[in-house]
Amino acid sequence: MITFMQISKRYGTIRAVDDVSLVVQPGELLALVGPNGAGKTTLLRLLLGLIAPSGGTASVAGYDVQHNGAAARRQLGYLPQRAVLYGNLSVAENLAFLAALHALPLQRVADVIALMQLDAVAQRPARTLSGGTAQRLGLAQALLADPPALVLDEPTVSLDPQSVASFKQLLRTLQGRGKTILLSSHILGDVQELADRVAILHAGRLIAIDSIPALAQRCSLPEQIHVVLAAVSGDEPELLARAGAEAHLDGDTLQVQVPLARKPAVIQALLHAGLPIRDLRSSSPSLEAIFMHLVGQAQH
């Protein structure tokens, strides 16, 4: 659906985006993550035709952004970091303006206002909206023409926790409806919850792209096993060290770090040791750990 082919953007000697190639499949939510200045926003702007590439191409549904920009943008809804369009116009007027540009009937404006629960503020000037409501207006603008793909730039950065939760719920609904979503964010917890795949950018370069479990496997990062014990003797970490796992006690919970390949052997050791296990659960490495590992590698 969205393709970047060896795309680059240079400002003098600075390479904001450097030879990036990636494909976002139809119906997929791909998250762009990276430190500040990694090139996430520049990549989105290249896709929207807001900036011209120094080399390479970007296309949406087969339409080249440089040569057939209007057709490419017709496939996209865009939610920027600063979502409000015209502050002096009301919420309904902002949407009606965009609807007119897309030649949509006014009924569509009413539908989107209802969908985004903006009825109560529909007649208010957009500049008076709170951060969360302005973000909902931004998403309403992006969804107005019902495009097959959405481009979201740091959509949750200025939202309170409640708004973040409802925003994530909305994204899941849109994913369920088959929308292709390209999301830029540095809030890794949100990305871990939502993304089908993650593309990690560093200094303008794409250093990794895959699903989170595949990235974790590639990094060989240890998994965490949390073992809640009915009684603690204090010898448990030593017992697990003999099975090749690093462990420490945290109250009545044994925190075990184990490389993925040794996980079955460590679980066997735990069971054979006859420990009074009350609960046991394991968690994959966090996206934050993966991100730090890969960015650390790229820096060296």
Partner 1 sequence: MFRHTIIIARRELTEAVRSRWVLLCGGLFALLALALAFVGMRSVGLNGVAGFSRTAIALLNLVLYLVPLLALLLSISSMAAEREEGALEVLLAQPIARRTVVFGKWMGLAAALAIALCGGFGSAGLVIAVAGGDTSAGDYLLLVVRSFGLGLAFISLGLWLACSSSSRLRALTWGLLLWFSSVLLYDLLVVGATALFGGSALMTMLGLLLMANPVDLVRVAALIQLGGADSFGLTAQALIGFLRGLRGSALLVLALLAWIIVPLFGAVRAFGRRDFTA
Handedness of CA 33, 35, 36, 42 (dihedral sign): negative
Q: Environment class of residue 257 by beta-carbon count within 10 Å: exposed (0-12), middle (13-18) or buried (19+)?
A: middle
Min dist. Cβ of residue 146 to partner 1 (A): 13
Residue selected from 84, 140, 150, 256 as contacting partner 1 according to rule CB under 8 A: 84
Q: Is 209 strand, coil or helix?
A: strand
Q: For partner 1, which stretch binds (CB under 8 A), given 38-46, 112-120, 184-192, 197-205? A: 38-46
Could you tell me if 277 and 296 are in contact, meaning their C-beta atoms sit under 8 angstroms apart? no
**Judged by CB under 8 A, does residue 15 bind partner 1?**
no
Residue selected from 36, 88, 162, 283 as contacting partner 1 according to rule CB under 8 A: 88
Could you tell me if 173 and 148 are in contact, meaning their C-beta atoms sit under 8 angstroms apart? no
Could you tell me if 177 and 27 are in contact, meaning their C-beta atoms sit under 8 angstroms apart? no
Min dist. Cβ of residue 28 to partner 1 (A): 21
**Judged by CB under 8 A, does residue 98 bind partner 1?**
yes
**Judged by CB under 8 A, does residue 80 bind partner 1?**
yes
Using CA atoms, how far apart are residues 200 and 57, in angstroms rounded to an integer? 19
**Judged by CB under 8 A, does residue 70 bind partner 1?**
yes
User: 140-179: which residues touch partner 1 (CB under 8 A)?
Assistant: 141, 151
Closer to partner 1 at the Cβ: 64 or 210? 64
Closer to partner 1 at the Cβ: 67 or 278? 67
Which H/E stretch holds residue 251? Answer: none
Pairing state between β 197-202 and 180-184: unpaired
Strand partners, 85: none
Closer to partner 1 at the Cβ: 56 or 222? 56
Closer to partner 1 at the Cβ: 45 or 202? 45
CA atoms within 13 A on the CB side of 7: 29
**Judged by CB under 8 A, does residue 14 bind partner 1?**
no
User: 261-280: which residues touch partner 1 (CB under 8 A)?
Assistant: none
Scanning the structure block, which residue is given the tokens 């309170």?
Answer: 160
Task: Catalog residues that contact partner 1 under the rule CB under 8 A.
Answer: 41-42, 45, 48-52, 69-71, 73-74, 76, 78, 80-89, 93, 97-98, 100-103, 141, 151
